Amino acid sequence: MLKPKRPLTLAQSVADHLREKILKREIMGGEPLRQEAIANSLDTSIIPVREALRQLEAEGLVELHTHRGAVATKLSLEQALEWIHLRRLIETDLIGKAMDNMTVEHIAKAERILGEFDQDLDVGRNIHRWSDYNWKFHSALYDAANRPETMKVLAMLHNKCDRYIRLQLLGGDHVDRAEKEHAELIQLCRNGEKRAAKALMYRHIVGVEEDLVEQLGI
């Protein structure tokens, strides 16, 4: 049964308007976002604009500076795809290595993290923590691989991809798909189906690449 959608607040409407302009390059990376000018153009007050900018900062689309005010984030599709490609190579291998040593405790930990992650995804809250949850979930599954140096490299890549993961999850049906694939990955790990888990991991990360090309490849 589909949950009824809540009506958008004024701040959410302003955020949607600005998000679309940033993603369509109508507002370029590095361009200042003047609160008063935005409020006047949308016939609203400063307060919802300020809230919208904070929301977009959590999504990685806006940077808020003490003296410079708000500016649109410079997004690089090419750079993001390179980082995510490296993730795909490492994580497809790592999940297989981890499954050789994975215990019910590893799976239970990943499942607990995924439960918290899904709750926030379902109601669209704590957007600033979405990529953090994503890393905690994946790293919980990879922990059994006992590859500390690989995990350091992977943590760096996840950190670099942070705002792009949040951006990717905000589009289309990407949240539903991510939840489904994460749950399926846990089940494959529980069943010891290594080949299927590696194939799903590959598709999962390729899906992130394709989503970003769709959203940023204008």
Which domains, from first to last, does the chain contain? Answer: 10-72 (1.10.10.10), 77-216 (1.20.120.530)
**Which H helix or E strand runs over 33?**
strand 32-33
pLDDT digits (tens, 9 = 90+) for 37-48: 999 999 999 999
Which pTM was predicted?
0.76
Give residue 119's pLDDT.
82
**70 Rama sector, left if φ>0, alpha if ψ -120 to 50, beta otherwise:** beta
Residue carrying structure tokens 């049964």: 1
Give residue 57's pLDDT.
87
Give residue 216's pLDDT.
81
Across the chain, which has 218 residues, the per-10-residue mean pLDDT values are 53 89 84 95 94 87 88 89 96 97 96 87 68 90 96 92 80 82 96 97 94 80
Rounded CA separation 182/201 (Å) = 9
Which of 210, 138, 136, 217 has its CA nearest to residue 172? 210
Give residue 205's pLDDT.
95
Cβ atoms of 57 and 15 within 8 Å: the answer is no
Q: Which amino acid is at 64?
A: L
